[in-house]
Amino acid sequence: MSGAEAFVPTPLLLSDSARKRIKALMAEESNPALKLRVYVTGGGCSGFQYGFDFADSVAEDDTLIEFGDATLVVDPLSYQYLVGSTVDYEEGLAGARFRVQNPNATTTCGCGASFMV
């Protein structure tokens, strides 16, 4: 019988399309320190909603999650709701946007911008 194996869950994942978009925005802004901030606030039709912002500075209690040449920034309150999620970027007829695929959400709205846990 083998011994127990340690499992460290991935806090957040970043899709290739999201990483490429962040990289493109860094180039457009001529700012290699630009990071994508992902956060959760109260509101939306399902109780919580996702928010995205770009930042080149971080707070002392923020969590940085690096994916090679792209970095996500998450504040401590939002982190607990986002563990295990994937940040994606999609372009379609309705426009282009970052979105979160959250396995912890028990309910989401039709557009995917708000959720409930």
What residues are designated binding site?
45, 109, 111
CA distance 83 to 57: 22
Angstrom distance (rounded) from CA 37 to CA 7: 26
> Which residues are annotated binding-site positions for iron-sulfur cluster?
45, 109, 111
Long-range contacts of 62-68 (CB under 8 A, 24+ apart): 63/11, 64/35, 65/11, 65/12, 65/14, 67/14, 67/19, 68/19
